[in-house]
Structure 1
Amino acid sequence: MKYTQAKDVMTRAVHTVEADRTLHGLSDFFLDHDVTGAPVVDTEGTLIGVVSVTDLARHVRDGSNGSTARVHTAYYDELAADYADEDLEALHITETSTATVRDVMTPEIYDVNPHTSVQQVADVMLRSNIRRLFVTRDGRIEGVITATDMMKVVRDL
């Protein structure tokens, strides 16, 4: 298959996460859906940001004041570029935390339309140093393109 436009590369099944979900719930969401990031929506379903395991890890503390869960080992590869091994070992999510996805998400949304060329998609991802962007039409999410998706394009050249 020749990849020419965003719609040819995108993953159509996009799992969104609610802005008011707890961080422990966010960790469960990532594991349940086998993803490392997701678009964030408000109560009306409007796209308001993006959250990743890196955002979660930046916010997580040592968990000394409550019951904790370790950040799942499935995320170590994703986080290894940003954190030292000893920092990864110390990451815990405090189950009693009142923080929500809204507190840790990135409010900047990078999106393209379905007809954007794959070259433009790559340019946006490189220039913005992001690992995922969303394909939208009329404010609705139609898909997501990750760095892995773009590697498939390169592989199939």
Structure 2
Amino acid sequence: MSTDILSQLTAKDIMQGDLLTAYEGWTIHRLAEFFINRQISAAPVIASDHELVGVVSVSDVVRFNTMDDDQRSDALRNLYRDSCGQDINESDLRNWVKVADRNCTVHQIMIPEVITVDVNTPLTKVTDTLVTHHIHRVFVTDDNKITGVITAMDILGAVHSRMEH
């Protein structure tokens, strides 16, 4: 297999166009159900105005669910402060911690940095982006609008299919 064949491929050639998104205002519980029901492990996060604001994965949900009560209290305290502009009563906070996954939102656990490539980016540059940033997926944009996703498995599939020919 020649690397010339792979260098001729672009992000558009191998991206998955059916992109599911999560909303930053969803609860973590709703996000977990979304991942399970759709059988996906990550999604770009959009705001209510559909602006791309981050990315969230199953790992972020797991990290949240393994927090101790003090860490959850801090997350909930910050959520309350951000949304209400004041501090929460400590007894209410203790009760709220018990159902934190139904109160904390995607915004609190998402990664606000989204790494993207343009649809015309050569596959060799896409793989370089994944390796350089130590990530498993990159989102594809066209005219600064998110149009797809490429995972490490998509790249392996493209390489594998070219090796068979």
Q: How does 1:106-121 map to 2 (within 5 A)?
A: 106-121=111-126
**Counterpart in 2 of 1:148?**
153
Write the distance in 2 (CA, Å) between the matches of 1:137 and 1:122. Answer: 18
Gaps of 5+ in 1: 65-93
**Counterpart in 2 of 1:44?**
49
1:126 aligns with 2:128: no
State the one-letter code of the partner of 1:152. Answer: G
The structure-2 alpha-carbon separation of the partners of 1:62 and 1:104, relative to structure 1 and needing over 3 Å to count, comes to closer
Normalising to structure 1: TM-score of the pair? 0.75
Q: Which has a greater percent of strand? A: 1
Taking only aligned residues, the RMSD between alpha carbons, in angstroms, comes to 1.8
Q: Which has a greater percent of helix? A: 2
**Which aligned segments of 4 or more residues in structure 1 are displaced greater than 2 angstroms?**
61-64, 94-97
Q: Taking every aligned residue pair, what percent have the same amino acid on both sides?
A: 35
| Number of residue equivalences | 127
Deviation at 1:139, TM superposition (A): 2.4
| Equivalent position SS for 1:102 | helix
| Equivalent position SS for 1:136 | strand
Write the distance in 1 (CA, Å) between the matches of 2:138 and 2:56. Answer: 11
**Counterpart in 1 of 2:66?**
61
Write the distance in 1 (CA, Å) between the matches of 2:23 and 2:107. Answer: 8
Write the distance in 1 (CA, Å) between the matches of 2:18 and 2:117. Answer: 16
Q: Report which of the two structures shows the higher radius of gyration computed on alpha carbons.
A: 2
Normalising to structure 2: TM-score of the pair? 0.72
